[in-house]
Amino acid sequence: MIIDVHTHLSTREQWGKVFVEAFDRGYTGYTGIDLEVTPEIHWEAVAAVSRAIVFGINSIALGMHTPNDAIAAYAKAHPEKIIGFMSIDPNDPAALDELDRCVNDLVLKGIKMSPVYQHYDPNGDKARRVHRRAEELGLPILTHAAYHIIANTPMEWANPLLYDPVAREFPNLKIILAHIGLPWYTDAMVMIRKHPNVFADVSGGVPLRPWWGYQALAFCHENRVMHKLLFGSDFPIATIEETIDALRTANRFAEGTGMPQVPAEDIEDLIHRDSLSLLGLD
């Protein structure tokens, strides 16, 4: 069993002009990354996994918009595999109304959030009302808690440690810190070690930033929190196959050195983890 907790379903138009231009500029040199993801393309990409969480991103600040209805329709068409998350922008005055609609009418199972893309303070009042409602309804949130290359994104709201007050205020809210918090992977490790309901996914960063990825895995192994890491690909930024290969070959940086090896069994446990049970989505 392999469960991918982090995949995207958005066309280039839905990603928005600002994101697409930054992506095309910042990912020069990487091959095979196509932001155009239709349901057909996504379905083919997740063939190798048992289940996949899928979402778009809605951001007033960056002009990103993938209708939650589109995510719900895709999940409804493939209930045996696809789990739809809504995207809620805390800056939207109707954020809670949309959240409730996504739960009651669209039957979406969690929330994708991003202080970086959506330009909000994770500990501000706008975010707090979303976090409170999510905890009340038992909805896990997956939040971008890592760097980005868009020039006007507020990096001061990207660090995983910003979720320490959130986790203290809402101890029953399940939080996934995306991309192991890269480059703040030690901070992400501290968070998942401290809080029972905080996890981190390995999406994107491990295959695209393998040196950082190895260090993040080594820190998590050293601090005995490998069980708090969830498998995620960040498709289309990386494929499922690329992510699995990057995990299984992460120890190449330590070969012939005194640096620690991450046990192969821990890597395999990560790849095959039952993340849905941990998130209350089984």
Euclidean distance between CA atoms 1 and 8, whole angstroms: 20
Which tokens belong to 40?
Answer: 């057909």
Lowest average pLDDT, out of 43-57, 171-185, 200-214, goes to: 200-214
* Kind plus residue range of the DSSP H or E element containing 13: helix 12-15
Whether the bond into 79 is cis, omega within 30 of 0: no
Question: Which sign does the torsion angle of CA 33, 39, 40, 45 carry?
Answer: positive
The per-residue pLDDT for range 33-42, each reduced to its tens digit, is 889 999 999 9
| Structural domains of the chain, count | 1
* pLDDT for 67 beyond 80: yes
Structural domain harbouring 177: 3-278
198, 182, 237: which is closest to 37 by C-alpha?
237
Strand-pair partners of 64: 59
Share above pLDDT 90 across residues of the chain, in percent, rounded to a whole number: 89
Euclidean distance between CA atoms 175 and 197, whole angstroms: 6
Assessment of whether the complete model's pTM goes beyond 0.75: yes
Lowest average pLDDT, out of 115-119, 150-154, 241-245, 249-253, goes to: 150-154
Q: Give the mean pLDDT of the chain.
A: 95
Task: Determine the pLDDT at residue 32.
Answer: 64
Question: Which sign does the torsion angle of CA 62, 46, 52, 247 carry?
Answer: negative
Which tokens belong to 259?
Answer: 């640096």
Which tokens belong to 205?
Answer: 């960063």
Provide the CATH number for the domain around residue 216. Answer: 3.20.20.140
Residue 207 C-alpha from the chain's centroid: 14
Give the DSSP letter of residue 57: -
CB contact at 8 A, 247 and 267: yes
State the average pLDDT over residues 18-46: 84
CB contact at 8 A, 238 and 11: no
**Collapsing DSSP states into helix, strand and coil, what is residue 166?**
helix
pLDDT-derived band at 47, boundaries 50, 70, 90 = very high
The per-residue pLDDT for range 197-218, each reduced to its tens digit, is 999 999 987 888 899 999 999 9
pLDDT-derived band at 163, boundaries 50, 70, 90 = very high
Task: Determine the pLDDT at residue 206.
Answer: 85
State the average pLDDT over residues 262-280: 97
Task: Determine the pLDDT at residue 143.
Answer: 98
| Inter-axis angle of helices 95-104 and 68-77, nearest 10 | 10
Task: Determine the pLDDT at residue 22.
Answer: 85
Task: Determine the pLDDT at residue 208.
Answer: 83
Task: Determine the pLDDT at residue 151.
Answer: 85
Euclidean distance between CA atoms 161 and 187, whole angstroms: 6
CB contact at 8 A, 142 and 114: no
State the average pLDDT over residues 118-140: 98
State the average pLDDT over residues 41-55: 97
Question: Which sign does the torsion angle of CA 14, 19, 25, 29 carry?
Answer: negative
